[in-house]
Structure 1
Amino acid sequence: MPAITVKTFAGERPKLDPRLLPNESASKAFGCHFDNGNLSPLKRPALTGIAVINTAKTIYQHLNQYWFAWDKEVHAVPSPITDDPWQRVYFTGDGYPKVTTNEIFEGANMPASAYRLGVQSPEVVIIASVTEGIDENEDGSTIDPNDDETRYYTHTYVTAAGEEGPPGEASQRIEIKYPDEEGTYVSLIFSPPNVNVSNITHRRIYRTATGGGSADYLFVAEIPISQNVFIDDIQGDQLGASLDTYDFEMPNEDMIGLTSMANGILAGFFDSTVCFSEAYLPYAWPSDYQQTTEHEIVTVAALGNTLAVLTKGYPYLFSGITPSAMAGQKLEFNQACVSGRSAVIVNGSLIYASPDGLISLSTSGLNMLTNQVITREQWQEYDPQTIEAYQQEGRYLAFYGEDLDKGFIFDPNTGDFRHFTATADCGFNSLIDDALYTCQGGNLSKWESSPTLMDYQWRSKDFEAQDISFACGMVKGVDLIQSGLRVFADETEVLHLEPGQIPNTAFRLPPTRGDSWAFEVYGSGTIHSVSIATTMREVAV
């Protein structure tokens, strides 16, 4: 005899007609999850007692202790340097790119203060003048004038953290007749920086070692930035290392989307330009490392040594061990990213919202995740341009809508959707405790950590039955007193057992015939199986 039995549960696949769904799939799945195949309620977020600014649009946890917050979309990353003594955090989106340290980030609202990222080159040329020493040897003979030296000077700014910027313009040409004789020296006069928002504390002085103007600059001395005069009487064999920060430019002031790649490289973008920092030198962004895309960039994300670049047109992959060796690949796949905050790494792949659905991007290529699950028209009901997403236990969890007050979970492994009601202004995935934190009105909550449960609603597929009269049913599970059941025949409700009315044994259905049958369970109990059959023996199996 015919029977309907559902022993495992899954989410929605909206593209399919309800009668064509697999037995375990739902025509509606709300507020539920399917651990171990059972139907269970989601837990509600639990307030942590932590508060940030009530207008927060970005939150970031630093050192598993401090919570930073901004009232705009910001991308923040920790220092790539192991055991960084300054415990620096680099971020973009709050004006020009910035960095904060353990000396200045603490305060009522964190980060309390920050410096501009990068070190500018000195704006004013060094003024140099020569004082010649004696021109005779001890025996009274004249010193050979062929030992004269042509010299140029330059200088760089240095921050309190030892970050050295690019050199300023070379000084005027200096001719020294007796460079190595006692009493010969060069007086150098400096001007202070026109602006100091990068915590510049020192200046390094360099000079050419040989004439001709083509030799490298060698280190002379480091002096406090407040010192405006230096006497250079250092002999040539006492000079230090050569200058190596020629192209250590500041990041473009419009750069956003900061992310951290492998090998200590940071990346960001502005307009249609991708930017890379020097490895383990997050303040140095040579323009020679910049690459361009055909369309305006929406966001970027790191996949190991590869940078995924999502644009308003084609996506790109940029790969390389060093920033100078990055090679770009345009992917001929016309699926633009419609929301930068929809892009999140789940199980090693970058998932993002396109006009047609969710896309998975990895180093091996692109995959349309939802083309067999949801139509373009159905997808547009999610307002994909508003989606802000996070990773949660290997699933894609998204808030959407103008107020971010609606949500869905997509499981890449099973390819189905489920929905929930919650509001979040922003969120943060913590790797340290493997938790998702959300923020609403400045109050931080930890996702699915409350003992309070959401109420779920799960409706089955439409089972075709050809004028069958099912006579009985049975629900198995835990805490069934907290769940209710509805049974439908040809879209008409024929039975409703409210919470507390579902028996622990088989029960009778009203005498009804139908060509299409479905059931719906709701509440907060755990459901193991639901059966509807023509005899008691069949539902008791």
Structure 2
Amino acid sequence: MPTLKLTQFSGEVPRLLPRLLADTASQNAVNVRLEDGSLTPVRQRKFTTTIAGLAAGSIRTVYKNGAEWLAWTTDVDAAPGPVATDRLYYTGDGAPKMRVAGVVYPLAISPPAGALAGSVSGSATSSDVTTLLYVYTWVTSFGEESAPSPASNFINWQPGQTVTLSGFAAAPAGRSITKQRIYRTQSGNVSSGLYFVAERAASSANYADVVNLSAAQEPIPSIDWDPPPATLQGLTALPNGLMAAFNGKDLMFCEPWRPHAWPEKYVLTTDYPIVAIGAFGSTIAVLTTGNPYVVTGTSPDSMSMEKVEQNIPCVNARAVVDLGYSVAYPSNDGLAVISSSGASVMSDALFTRSDWQKMSPATLIASQFAGRYFASYGYVDTDGRPQTGSFLVDMTGQTPFLLRTNLKADALTYDIPTGAMFMLFGNEVYEWDAVGQSNATLTWKSKQFVMPKPTNFGAIFIEAGGTRTPEEQAAYEQQIADDNAWNAAHFPNPSIEGEVGGAAVGAYAVGGDLMRRANDRPFVSVNIYADKKLVANVSTLNRVARLPAGFVARVWEIEVNSNTQIAEIGLATNAQELALI
């Protein structure tokens, strides 16, 4: 006799008809992990912090900088700097910036604008004449050095004479400039090199140089350290002290270990405007409004750029995600991926182009969680109904699959040190699937199992995945305590919002109200559908339950709702057959 046994569970493949799905796949997979083959619910989100000073709904970017939470009303890309001290660099909030100990500085250090003027004094001890040129640079309290000023006038100097330099500008405010460094040529030609003369506290006072041409000095390091353009975007950290960003069609690199300096000599230019960039290893995925590019190299002066001969434009910078082993991004045709294996539209196995377009990929907000692509969406379907939520795409196996949650975030951020993903709702930040929280309720609906001929399944066995861990039990007990405290605080209110018109439509389930229902018992509700009609609901765990008789059907489906792990589900015509499958 026919039997069904589910011992492994997988996610959605929306492209396929329900009856064509693999036996492990689902029509609907909500709030479920699917990390070990069982049905395991995700944990409840955990409140983390409230963003102060910005109106709810106006925030587009949140970022966890150590213990500090930062937020912006623009699309910001932030990355820790490859320097000894704790500095955060970011673009997207006006001109590029650097944040140190809570203080924000412009990233650019403009070189001194005016040239020095030099004059000689004193008696010459030789008739030999050397022509000299001088420049100076700014130096910040963080050890950053600017590009040099314009060269001074030609100064004809003879041994025994002193060169007096004037025209030093006062140090500009706002960049913590504390020192000046003075350099000179040895032969009156800048191309022959500029060499260190002296460093002093930033001052507009004149400087007297007692020239000693025989003294060996270091050459200037910052001769071509151009400041970053004010329109720099997409800041991304790379290995070997590098950072990359873009400006229009130009891909730019900082001087190694010098994030304030972006020499124009390192620029690589694409055919189409750049939308976003991402990195995996020492490879950069450059995503444009046309073809993507792949850039490889370990030094900015040896970067190699290759155009990917596939028309996979990026349509949304907010949904570009570094997955560690690849970069995923939304294109017109689907979710595209660039990795060491090349570029492809990975979601071809999940969505038709039409279905992907219905989800409004240009408005997705994405991050990563546990190596999966996590995206929040909001769009209006063809019937005029708003659709909101989030989906996760697992690309780690041979066949990708989709998971869902009904939560839609206003912004997402992934914290590398903790491996946690955070979701912004209004101005409140929550951790997704937080350790220590009680389980959410999962929903998982099987494929349509089409029997060779009409049959009746008379028995079902639902096996729980095991007892709770001490961590899970502690979370449930804490949830009960929190719910009881909430109820005690709100029960004396004039209304608990359960009466007709007491709350906004959809705020609570039918018959619900403000009160929280504390329940630490494992919950399961399994619906059985026969020829698309609900024929049974079973809430029995770890023992056989009977199903209705008196009918037969060809198409059978199983829908699970549970807050506990489910390891196996079996259906058979009777209890004896269940023992044999």
Both proteins in one fold, TM over 0.5: yes
Q: Is the 8 A contact 1:472 1:539 kept in 2?
A: yes
Give the partner amino acid of 1:519.
I
Q: Does 1:154 align with 2:193?
A: no
Q: Does 1:220 align with 2:220?
A: no
Q: Does 1:492 align with 2:491?
A: no
Q: Does 1:250 align with 2:227?
A: yes
Match of 2:79 among 57, 77, 80: 77
Alignment-derived partner of residue 100 in structure 2: 101
**Equivalent pairs: percent with the same residue?**
30
Count of aligned residue pairs for this structure pair: 513
Q: Distance in 2 between matches of 1:424 and 1:376?
A: 24
Q: Distance in 1 between matches of 2:299 and 2:554?
A: 65
Alignment-derived partner of residue 439 in structure 1: 424
User: How many angstroms does 1:44 deviate by?
Assistant: 1.4
Q: Distance in 2 between matches of 1:510 and 1:312?
A: 60
Match of 1:527 among 566, 573, 577: 566
Q: Distance in 1 between matches of 2:525 and 2:329?
A: 36
Alignment-derived partner of residue 131 in structure 1: 121
SS of residue paired to 1:378:
helix
Q: Is the 8 A contact 1:470 1:532 kept in 2?
A: yes
User: How many angstroms does 1:56 deviate by?
Assistant: 3.5
Q: Would the alpha carbon gap of residues 404 and 281 (structure 1) be closer, same or farther in structure 2, given more than 3 Å must change?
A: farther
User: How many angstroms does 1:14 deviate by?
Assistant: 1.0
Q: Distance in 2 between matches of 1:16 and 1:213?
A: 68
Alignment-derived partner of residue 192 in structure 1: 169
SS of residue paired to 1:2:
coil
Q: Would the alpha carbon gap of residues 354 and 443 (structure 1) be closer, same or farther in structure 2, given more than 3 Å must change?
A: same
Q: Distance in 1 between matches of 2:78 and 2:226?
A: 20
1:497-508 matches, within 5 Å, as 497=538, 500=539, 504-508=543-547
1:332-343 matches, within 5 Å, as 332-343=309-320
1:311-390 matches, within 5 Å, as 311-390=288-367
- CA deviations on 1:76-131 (whole Å, 9 max, x unpaired) are 111212xx24x2111111111111212xx1xxxxxxx3111132221111122221
- CA deviations on 1:387-413 (whole Å, 9 max, x unpaired) are 222221122221122699510111112
Match of 1:423 among 384, 408, 411: 408
Q: Please provide the CA RMSD for this pair.
A: 2.3
Q: Distance in 2 between matches of 1:40 and 1:66?
A: 32
User: How many angstroms does 1:531 deviate by?
Assistant: 2.3
Q: Does 1:468 align with 2:449?
A: no
User: How many angstroms does 1:439 deviate by?
Assistant: 2.6
Q: Distance in 1 between matches of 2:357 and 2:546?
A: 42
Q: Would the alpha carbon gap of residues 487 and 254 (structure 1) be closer, same or farther in structure 2, given more than 3 Å must change?
A: same
Alignment-derived partner of residue 286 in structure 1: 263
Q: Distance in 2 between matches of 1:51 and 1:197?
A: 26
Give the partner amino acid of 2:183.
Y
Choose 70-79 or 472-481, whichever is displaced more: 472-481
User: How many angstroms does 1:144 deviate by?
Assistant: 4.7
Match of 1:482 among 486, 511, 523: 523
Q: Is the 8 A contact 2:30 2:404 kept in 1?
A: yes
Q: Is the 8 A contact 1:485 1:502 kept in 2?
A: no
Q: Is the 8 A contact 1:481 1:502 kept in 2?
A: no
- CA deviations on 1:331-380 (whole Å, 9 max, x unpaired) are 01111122212222225111222222222211331133221222112222
User: How many angstroms does 1:197 deviate by?
Assistant: 3.6
1:449-468 matches, within 5 Å, as 449=434, 451-465=437-451, 466-468=453-455
Q: Distance in 2 between matches of 1:56 and 1:252?
A: 25
Alignment-derived partner of residue 409 in structure 1: 392
Alignment-derived partner of residue 140 in structure 1: none
Q: Does 1:60 align with 2:60?
A: no
Q: Distance in 2 between matches of 1:276 and 1:347?
A: 21
SS of residue paired to 1:385:
helix
Q: Would the alpha carbon gap of residues 89 and 404 (structure 1) be closer, same or farther in structure 2, given more than 3 Å must change?
A: farther
Q: Does 1:92 align with 2:82?
A: no
1:253-264 matches, within 5 Å, as 253-264=230-241
Q: Distance in 1 between matches of 2:555 and 2:457?
A: 11
Give the partner amino acid of 1:314.
N
**TM-score normalized with structure 2 length:** 0.83
Give the partner amino acid of 1:406.
G
User: How many angstroms does 1:175 deviate by?
Assistant: 1.8
User: How many angstroms does 1:194 deviate by?
Assistant: 8.4
Q: Does 1:26 align with 2:26?
A: yes
User: How many angstroms does 1:325 deviate by?
Assistant: 0.8
- CA deviations on 1:417-444 (whole Å, 9 max, x unpaired) are 1110113222322222222122323333
Q: Is the 8 A contact 2:168 2:206 kept in 1?
A: no
Choose 466-475 or 326-335, whichever is displaced more: 466-475
SS of residue paired to 2:36:
helix
- CA deviations on 1:450-477 (whole Å, 9 max, x unpaired) are 5233222211111112222333322222
SS of residue paired to 1:437:
strand
**TM-score normalized with structure 1 length:** 0.89
Q: Distance in 2 between matches of 1:401 and 1:300?
A: 24
Alignment-derived partner of residue 180 in structure 1: 159
Give the partner amino acid of 2:93.
D
Q: Is the 8 A contact 1:470 1:534 kept in 2?
A: yes
Give the partner amino acid of 2:352.
T
Q: Is the 8 A contact 2:11 2:26 kept in 1?
A: yes
Q: Is the 8 A contact 1:219 1:239 kept in 2?
A: no
Q: Does 1:265 align with 2:306?
A: no
Q: Would the alpha carbon gap of residues 65 and 451 (structure 1) be closer, same or farther in structure 2, given more than 3 Å must change?
A: closer
- CA deviations on 1:137-177 (whole Å, 9 max, x unpaired) are xxxxxx552x122222111122122211111211111123x
Q: Does 1:304 align with 2:281?
A: yes
Choose 255-264 or 205-214, whichever is displaced more: 205-214
Q: Would the alpha carbon gap of residues 95 and 49 (structure 1) be closer, same or farther in structure 2, given more than 3 Å must change?
A: closer
SS of residue paired to 1:32:
coil
SS of residue paired to 1:341:
helix
